[in-house]
Amino acid sequence: MDRSSRLHDAARPSVLALDPYALEVPTEEIAARYGLAVEDVVRFDTNTSPFAAENLAEPLRRFADRMALNEYPDTSYGELVAAIGRYTGFGAGQVVVGCGADEILDMAAKVFVGEGRSAVVPEPTYVMYDLVTRIVGGTPRPAPRPTPFEMDADAVIAAARGAAAVWLCNPNNPTGDLTPVEDVERIVANVACPVVVDEAYYEYCGVTVAPLISKYPNLLVVRTLSKAFSLAGLRVGFGLASAGLIELMMRVRPPNSIGTIAAALGAAALDDTAVMRAHVAGVVAERTRLVATLRPMVQDVRDTETNFLLWKVADPKRVAEALLSRGLIVRDVSGRPGLAGYLRTTVRTPAENDRLLAELRRIL
What are the tens digits of pLDDT across the range 272-297? 999 999 999 999 999 999 999 999 99
Local structure of residue 38 (DSSP, 8 states): G
3-state DSSP call for residue 140?
A: strand
Q: Measure the CA–CA gap between 349 and 49, rounded to whole angstroms.
A: 9
- Assess contact for 47 and 307: CB atoms under 8 A: yes
Q: Count CB atoms within 10 A of the CB of residue 323.
A: 20
Q: Which of 147, 104, 100 is nearest to 123 (CA)?
A: 147
DSSP string of 309-334, one letter each residue: EEEE-S-HHHHHHHHHHTTEE-EE-T
Instruction: Indicate the CATH number for domain 66-271.
Output: 3.40.640.10
First to last CA, the chain: 54
Q: Is the pLDDT of residue 3 over 90?
A: no
**For residue 47, what pLDDT band results from cuts at 50, 70 and 90?**
very high
pLDDT tens for 209-262 read 999 999 999 999 999 999 999 999 999 999 999 999 999 999 999 999 999 999
- CA angle 228/245/197 to nearest 5° reads 35
CATH fold of 3-52+275-363, please?
Answer: Aspartate Aminotransferase, domain 1 (3.90.1150)
Q: Measure the CA–CA gap between 205 and 222, rounded to whole angstroms.
A: 15
Q: Which of 182, 231, 227 is nearest to 201 (CA)?
A: 227
Q: Which of 288, 123, 119 is nearest to 204 (CA)?
A: 288
**For residue 13, what pLDDT band results from cuts at 50, 70 and 90?**
confident
- Assess contact for 96 and 254: CB atoms under 8 A: no
**Confidence (pLDDT) at 180:** 97
Please give the distance of CA 264 from its chain centroid, rounded to a whole number.
Answer: 22
Q: Is the pLDDT of residue 160 over 70?
A: yes
3-state DSSP call for residue 166?
A: strand
Mean pLDDT of all residues in 101-108: 98
Task: Decide: residue 27, CB within 10 A, 0-12 exposed, 13-18 middle, 19+ buried.
Answer: middle
**Confidence (pLDDT) at 236:** 98
Q: Is the pLDDT of residue 23 over 80?
A: no
Domain boundary assignment for the chain: 3-52+275-363, 66-271
Mean pLDDT of all residues in 57-84: 89
pTM: 0.94
**Confidence (pLDDT) at 318:** 97
**Confidence (pLDDT) at 2:** 62
Range in 7-11, 116-120, 275-279 the model is least confident about: 7-11
Amino acid identity for residue 296 in this structure: P
Q: Which of 58, 83, 66 is nearest to 263 (CA)?
A: 83
